[in-house]
Amino acid sequence: MLALYNDGNNVYGYSGIGYMINDVDPFCFIDFDDPYKKHPDGSPVNADPAGIARVQLDIYNRFRGTYMEISQSGKGLHIISLGLTPKGKHVAAVEMYSHARLMVVTGNVYEAAPITDKQEAINWLYTELTSAEKVVGYTGTFEDVHDDQTVINKCLAAANGQKFRDLANGDWQQYYGSQSEADFALIDILAYFTESRFQIARIFRLSALGQRDKAARDAYVFGMVDKAFDLHPPPLDMDGVKAALDAEWAKVAGVGTGQGRDMNPPNVPQAPGLPPPVSPTGDDAPRYTFVEDEDNPYRKPVPGLLGQIAYYIYAQAPRPVPEIALAGAIGLMAGICGRAYNVSGTGLNQYTLLLARTGRGKEAINSGMSKLMNAVCLVGDGGGNCPGAREFVGPTTISSGQALVKHLDKGSKSFVSVLGEVDLTLKNMTSRNANAGLVALKQTMLRAYSASGRGETLGQTIYSDKDKNTSEIISPAFSIVGEGTPARFYAMLDEDLVADGLLPRFTIIEYNGDRVPLNIERANVQPSPQLVHAVAQLCGYALMLNQQSKPVDVQLTDEAQAFLHHFDLTVDGIMNKADNDVIDQLWNRAYLKAAKLASLIAIGINMTNPVITLELAEYAVTMVKRDTSRLVARFVTGDIGDGVSKQMLDMKKAFQGAMRLSDKRCHSLGMTWQMQQDRLIPKRYIMQALTNIASYKNAKEGMNRALESHIRSLLDAGFIQQVGATQLATYGKSAGVYYVVTNPAWLIGGVEDN
């Protein structure tokens, strides 16, 4: 039939021949779409088409040796091999199927090879797509559910209706410092009440803000629409939520689910493991995709030099772990750039705490950093010819504040130290019995964190022994990559440690996974000449800037500035509602942490003119939000700290109770049968269940404020998620707040049967 289609007799103009793959067929069909495809409005379908193209190239290389053909459009590729996949997958511009799917064959051969067994590559791709499909950004729909006036009326009737009215009328100066920030805020409000991309753009352009020339650019408007959806609850995969909850519930023996909430665990296939790392060979080397946990930004590829350093540390590690590699790369970049660059009036030094269990490969940071910087300092062929770069890596032991000040004064004013057991050091510093050296070290670290910016100083120190005196240190940039174990760190963590102010200055990167297999190729992995040259260039440039005391200011695009400002306002709201010193301390430096991290990535992309784009701002904010919200959640759920553990235990019991509601009780709460089946939890029930509970009734900040604060903490930590307005409408509901549990382990752990 295919021969007939290709021999000139295709008089009907068919674009291919279809073959339905059934359950007994041995074929796996992979389809690449054009990554640069655009929506009807001209906006790109994919947020990162170049990145998707690189992923497709990686997949193509792994499937070489089997039949490939050009797709019907002429811009895509079909790969046909032998092998099975547990389930069909479709992520961005990549699809794969092995049953219950129509496979269209064009015969336009791209690689003339027989259809061969590629089960190993199929297993790898299935794992990658399973992970990636959970983090694909939601960008709205192309259909209007309500007319424009109805959406406008909903916005005006909302709690922030006056703000919407003011922005729509062009009165933005009272809220924001730039019109770009105001544009984004108006679109952000619209995106909550309609998910139609065209409708949001249309209403925005009817407003006073939407009248300027910039608003006529589709790329500008629809770019903000995409980002607005990132800040609102995306549509939930209700089947996935139920399956995860049922599977976790089934692990608990003897737990009844009650009427109306039948929870039978599904048969979930186990996905194959990640592939072994590959060794970098240069700038065009395939980049290992750090994606495994859909909620883990530490496993996403990072652009530029910071990402290349992380990749090298990962590839040379005895036991490669992305989180460990990224912590090392951030530390090294901060050591080099901390004093030479500024953002928001401060330098880029970083305090990073890496938490991983014993035997997980934390030594990769020291080994990778050492090998890379030795190559950078090496003079001669194959070296970076930058011996001065040695000053950017500091001592691995700092015994006291005096020792740190002396090194900053007499040695280097910009460096990173990789320190072991920092969790114990932090605890000992805050102990009432801390010795004078540790107390001085804590004080110096507190002062040094904010002293790296232009014009800042670390004051002169005077000792009884005049030979130990130090002069005033201008803009010192001290960075840390500290190591610790999660169990020990959280066991000793309490509110005093947070209130002391030092811990909140740390960005915490945590790896809780298994011990990964030994990387037998690690001894052969050396930094590529391209990587050595790039790091040497950056070191040389930073040395020159430090010598001249002329730091480069990292710039921000208007969109990035608006996004970071929106994040800062969000943090303000969290802190104002919290009425809790611990939460205030943990969120206090969130904006600064995000700006510093985004700056380090931007420098790795362009060291002479670094610019934080919206993409980099989003990446940094995602990391900081994850770090902070999860630490806050540990306090409010009672895993650490003493202040609110009883309240959150009662909160969890209320959510557990919502899983056992009778049909009659659900009906009284206004829930439909489908809402019960989809495990929706009305906020109204949670508030009612806790109203007369002593821990909330007697809360010092007030019952309602305590309830709202703890629910917000659960949302921020990803334990629960609110059902969006549009998705709620599919249940026939136009009002009310409903949640689903997105972290079943939190809910099911310690289930109460009473």
Residue 638 in tokens: 């009672």
Per-range mean pLDDT, top range of 57-61, 91-95, 177-181: 57-61
Strand arrangement, sheet containing 506-511:
414-419, 477-484, 351-356, 506-511
Region 455-474 average pLDDT: 67
> Which residue has better confidence, 167 or 442?
167
What pLDDT does residue 518 have?
A: 87
Report, as an integer, the average pLDDT of 212-218. Answer: 86
Residue whose pair of structure tokens reads 């963590």 in the numeric block = 493
Mean pLDDT of 621-638: 79
Q: What is the mean pLDDT of residues 416-431?
A: 81
3-class secondary-structure state, position 682: strand
- What mean pLDDT is reported for the chain? 79
Q: Indicate the pLDDT class of residue 140, thresholds 50, 70 and 90.
A: low
- Alpha carbons 499 and 513: distance in angstroms, whole number: 30
What's the confidence (pLDDT) of residue 636?
A: 64
Range 410-415 average pLDDT? 88
pLDDT at 752: 41
Question: Radius of gyration of the chain from Cα atoms?
Answer: 28
Please state, in angstroms and as integers, the Cα–Cα distance from residue 442 to each residue in 23, 451, 473, 494, 724, following that order. 64, 14, 17, 17, 45
Grade residue 331 by pLDDT with cuts at 50, 70 and 90. very high
Is pLDDT above 60 for 575? yes
Residue 682 C-alpha from the chain's centroid:
28
Residues in contact with 547: Cβ distance below 8 Å, sequence separation at least 6, in sequence order: none
Rounded Cα distance, 365 and 332, in Å: 9
Q: Each residue of 630-668: pLDDT tens digit?
A: 787 777 666 664 444 577 778 888 888 888 888 888 888
**Tokens describing residue 445:** 């670290």
Both tokens assigned to 448:
């040094």
pLDDT value of position 625: 86
For residue 628, the model assigns a pLDDT of: 86
Q: How far is CA 391 from CA 382, 410, 479, 543, in A?
A: 21, 11, 13, 9
Residues whose CB is less than 8 angstroms from the CB of residue 75 and which lie 6 or more positions away in sequence, other chains included: 33, 34, 37
Q: What pLDDT does residue 16 have?
A: 59
pLDDT tens digits along 78-104: 999 988 876 778 777 888 887 767 777
H/E run at residue 722: strand 720-722
Mean pLDDT of 480-487: 88
Q: At what angle do helices 581-588 and 614-636 cross, to 10 degrees?
A: 160
The predicted-structure confidence for 334-388, as pLDDT tens digits, reads as follows 999 999 999 988 999 999 999 998 888 899 999 999 999 999 999 888 789 999 9
Residue 576: both structure tokens together? 């104002």
Domains of the chain (ranges; CATH) run: 2-132 (3.30.2250), 148-230 (no CATH), 238-246+644-748 (1.10.10), 297-636 (3.40.50)
Strands 346-347 and 341-343: antiparallel
pLDDT at 257: 36
67 DSSP β-pair partners: 80
pLDDT band at 324 (very low <50, low <70, confident <90, very high): very high
Host H or E run for residue 645:
helix 645-658
Of the listed ranges 2-16, 90-104, 459-473, 668-682, the least confidently predicted one is 2-16
DSSP state of 470: B
pLDDT tens digits, residue range 683-737? Answer: 989 988 888 888 788 877 778 877 887 787 787 666 788 887 767 777 877 677 8
- pLDDT tens per residue, range 251-279: 543 333 333 333 332 232 222 222 333 33
Report the pLDDT averaged over residues 492-520.
Answer: 83
Helix (H) / strand (E) containing 309 = helix 304-315
